[in-house]
Amino acid sequence: MVEINVCPSTLQEGFTTYSPVARKQLFDEKEVSHILDFDSPNNDSGDNEAYLKNVGRISLSGVQPKASLVLSEGHLVKPAEGERGTYILKPAPTSYALLDRKYCPANEHLTMQLASQVYHIETAANGICFFQDGEAAYLCRRFDVGPNGQKYSQEDFASLAGLTDANGGSDFKYSNLSYEECADIIRKYVKAAPVEILKYFRIVVFNYLTLNDDAHLKNFSLINRGDGEYHLTP
């Protein structure tokens, strides 16, 4: 069993599980265990590996494996058939060629906490949880799913710019637009553009400071949460 003495979300000292602040942000104040009910995909259990292959059912971009989870009776579990997941679980990459791969969840979590707590950048509510075998995973709450399970409208910058591999080449999401041109996309589609552009360039500077070289066009998006207005996603 993993023993901790800091909140596995906010990193505040003196907690052996999620703090009240973390529970409010992540779980609407519900008490939730930071220990999952199953082993990591790096475990030799075929059943657990199949469990996490639920990742194939969620339409999220990116190459790192992700699994969809929901909250049920204080535990994070696999969604029922047809149920929309409200959390994303990112275990450590399974590629043994990646140096220090087991630290990837902690690295992503710490980076997001720096963004929100130090640089006051809006992020998805996030934390660390642990598999039964003690391996850590990064957990975040989906910002594109509403309280009643409704899916919010969201478009990434590549789509908004009309770019695909057909007209932009195989690296279309990396090499076609400058950061200034991305700001022009915000001006075009967002009513409160000056506010969102400031948020956007805070993220750009933060990515530079934290050596994030994967801030491509499909990792920036605009979202409409049902109020008719588009905003930059966390």
- Condensed to tens digits (0 to 9), the pLDDT of residues 68-108 reads 999 999 999 989 888 889 999 999 887 666 778 889 999 99
Helix 193-209 and helix 179-189: axis angle, to 10°? Answer: 150
88, 137 Cβ separation under 8 angstroms: no
CA distance 186 to 223: 11
What pLDDT sits at residue 156?
92
Mean pLDDT of 162-181: 80
**Interacting residues of 39 by C-beta distance below 8 A, sequence separation 6+:** 45, 48, 131, 132, 133, 135
For 178, phi then psi, to 5°, come to -85, 170
Tell whether the model's pLDDT for residue 190 goes beyond 60.
yes
Tell whether the model's pLDDT for residue 195 goes beyond 70.
yes
What pLDDT sits at residue 193?
97
CA distance 143 to 212: 21
What pLDDT sits at residue 99?
76
Point out which residues pair with 155 in neighbouring strands: 222
The secondary element (H helix, E strand) that includes residue 206 is helix 193-209
157, 230 Cβ separation under 8 angstroms: no
Mean pLDDT of 6-25: 98
What are the pLDDT digits (tens) for 105-128? 999 999 999 999 999 999 999 999
Mean pLDDT of 140-154: 91
In terms of pTM, does the model score above 0.85? yes
Higher pLDDT, 196 or 99: 196
Whole-number percent of the chain with pLDDT over 70: 88
Q: Distance of alpha carbon 104 from its chain centroid, rounded?
A: 13
- Mean pLDDT, the chain, rounded, equals 88
What pLDDT sits at residue 63?
54
Tell whether the model's pLDDT for residue 154 goes beyond 90.
yes
Higher pLDDT, 67 or 170: 67
Mean pLDDT of 143-167: 88
- DSSP conformation letters of 136-197: EEEEEE-TTB-TTSPBPEEEEHHHHTT--HHHH-TTHHHHS--HHHHHHHHHHH-TTHHHHH
